């Protein structure tokens, strides 16, 4: 029971990170109907920026008060990663707007390769470790088994991650449902041509979507750095694939679906690792995706596709 609870907490933490990345996929998919394969690498970029900024603040400028440092790192990495998201869209996707659907998919894969190799060349291929910055936590429960005592711990780090995710999710839901920007976004999702006829600047709305997705990916990147303490240029691929899986599982195009899918994928991975085998956790996640899609071809919360004859 205690073991189960501990795994649940770990799974939710990991799931939050996946969910934040998945939102980027799902928003982009919702608005222009393409898989932004480079989004996982934008997350990786965010992680690198967060790491570098953290080092600048702590070693070069000598800041020591952690909350302020983390806040500045968060803001800076969101801003700079957004610039990357914007540029990727501008260079690789906007010229293909209204073109055939496979073309932006290929440029997205191309962009993903470019970003990975750019970071590999400029920052080196070796992993970058960062010692854990936020230590400690609260012990929720104590149980004993024949092997000794098991503690159910919720670390401060996990609290921060889950709390931030909830705040960001709430904020984004409000943004999409209440603001003119959100309205413009939903209008573009429904019918881009009509939206532009009604005076919505479609290009800017799409750009902003990429910017928002990238900002969320940056948050996820920072959390990843803090939680795992190790990054390299390749983390974007797997995280991206998992997050995309999460987005599809939840029903691509749906924000709550992305979050739900992220949490599910995180839980599946953690529980599979905890109870069965670490090696096959990816297989478990992907298999469950396949199984869910066989029965619900549009994901858990996706709009079922009506076959118009």
Distance CA(254)–CA(239), nearest Å, equals 19
Closer Cβ to another protein, 96 or 264, answer by number: 96
Write the CB contacts of 90 (distance below 8 Å, at least 6 apart in sequence): 207
**Smallest distance from the beta carbon of 91 to another protein, in angstroms?**
7
**Smallest distance from the beta carbon of 168 to another protein, in angstroms?**
22
DSSP structure class, residue 303? P
**Smallest distance from the beta carbon of 31 to another protein, in angstroms?**
14
Least Cα distance to 224 among 136, 173, 286, 165 occurs for 165
Distance CA(273)–CA(284), nearest Å, equals 9
Closer Cβ to another protein, 155 or 245, answer by number: 245
Closer Cβ to another protein, 151 or 238, answer by number: 238
**Smallest distance from the beta carbon of 148 to another protein, in angstroms?**
29
- Tokens linked to 136: 């400690």
Closer Cβ to another protein, 13 or 245, answer by number: 245
SS3 137: strand
**Smallest distance from the beta carbon of 122 to another protein, in angstroms?**
4
Least Cα distance to 243 among 17, 8, 73 occurs for 17
Closer Cβ to another protein, 148 or 294, answer by number: 294
Distance CA(174)–CA(70), nearest Å, equals 25
**Smallest distance from the beta carbon of 255 to another protein, in angstroms?**
17
**Smallest distance from the beta carbon of 178 to another protein, in angstroms?**
26
Distance CA(250)–CA(148), nearest Å, equals 39
Write the CB contacts of 110 (distance below 8 Å, at least 6 apart in sequence): 92
Closer Cβ to another protein, 171 or 297, answer by number: 297
**Smallest distance from the beta carbon of 195 to another protein, in angstroms?**
18
Closer Cβ to another protein, 146 or 305, answer by number: 305
Closer Cβ to another protein, 143 or 297, answer by number: 297
Least Cα distance to 26 among 299, 305, 308, 304 occurs for 299
Query: Helices marked H in the chain — which ranges?
Result: 2-32, 39-55, 66-88, 102-123, 156-178, 180-190, 192-197, 202-228, 235-250, 255-275, 281-295
Can you tell me which residue has the tokens 């659907």? 101
Least Cα distance to 219 among 19, 12, 4, 7 occurs for 19
Distance CA(218)–CA(84), nearest Å, equals 10
């Amino acid at each position: 029971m205690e073991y189960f609870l501990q795994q649940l907490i770990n799974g939710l933490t990991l799931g939050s990170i996946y969910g934040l990345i998945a939102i980027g996929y799902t928003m982009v998919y919702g608005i222009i109907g393409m898989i932004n394969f480079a989004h996982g690498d934008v997350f990786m970029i965010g992680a690198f920026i967060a790491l570098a900024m953290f080092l600048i603040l702590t070693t070069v400028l000598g800041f020591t008060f952690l909350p302020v440092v983390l806040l500045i790192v968060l803001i800076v990495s969101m801003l700079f990663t957004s610039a990357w998201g914007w540029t990727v869209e501008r260079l690789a996707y906007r010229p293909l707007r209204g073109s055939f659907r496979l073309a932006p998919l290929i440029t997205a894969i191309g962009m993903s390769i470019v970003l990975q190799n750019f970071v590999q060349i400029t920052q080196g291929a070796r992993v970058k470790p960062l010692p854990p910055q936020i230590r400690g936590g609260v012990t929720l429960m104590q149980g004993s088994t024949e092997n000794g005592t098991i503690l159910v711990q919720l670390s401060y780090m996990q609290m921060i991650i889950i709390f931030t995710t909830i705040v960001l999710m709430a904020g984004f839901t409000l943004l999409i449902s209440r603001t003119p920007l959100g309205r413009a976004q939903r209008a573009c999702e429904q019918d881009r041509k009509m939206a532009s006829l009604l005076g919505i600047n479609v290009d800017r709305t799409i750009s902003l979507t990429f910017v928002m997705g990238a900002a969320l990916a940056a948050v996820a990147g920072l959390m990843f750095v803090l939680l795992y303490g190790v990054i390299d240029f390749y983390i974007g691929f797997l995280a991206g694939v998992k997050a995309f899986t999460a987005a599809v599982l939840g029903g691509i195009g749906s924000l709550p679906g992305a979050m739900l899918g992220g949490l599910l994928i995180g839980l599946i991975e953690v529980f599979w690792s905890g109870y069965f085998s670490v090696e096959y956790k990816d297989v478990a996640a992907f298999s469950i995706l396949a199984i869910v899609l066989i029965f619900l071809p549009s994901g858990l919360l996706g709009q079922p596709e009506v076959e118009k004859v």
